[in-house]
Homo-oligomer: A and B are copies of this chain.
Amino acid sequence: MQRICFVLQVKKDRLEEYKERHKKVWPEMRDALRDTGWHNYSLFLRDDGMLVGYVETPDFQKALDGMAGLEVNARWQREMRDFFEDAQGRDADRQMAPLEPVFFLE
């Protein structure tokens, strides 16, 4: 099991809307995440828009690739695209670079 942490940047003027949207993530999007290996998945938001993701998965690259192949994810990422800062215009799920794990306690 890999424990993965990544950081993204939500636009400061879209924070409230971002939070609202994440209270009602489509059930088919939640199912897709579960089916592609996303477990114990949390998102946390700092008031300056820094978004931290934490997820447990057998293989993070597989989890990303699994989602990348699904129509429901394409639709979700399209709707989310304008919430994120990214100079290169990538969707959020293409920016999820894992941070280095430095400590773990069971």
Contact = CB atoms under 8 A, between A and B. Distances in A.
A5 interface: yes
Q: Is chain A's binding surface mostly helix, strand, loop or mixed?
A: strand
A102 interface: yes
A50 interface: yes
Interface of A: 3, 5, 7, 18-19, 22, 25, 30, 33-34, 38-47, 50-52, 54, 98-106
Given A5-B42, A39-B105, A44-B101, 13 more contacts: A33-B105, A34-B106, A39-B106, A40-B105, A40-B106, A41-B105, A42-B104, A43-B103, A44-B99, A44-B100, A46-B99, A46-B100, A52-B52
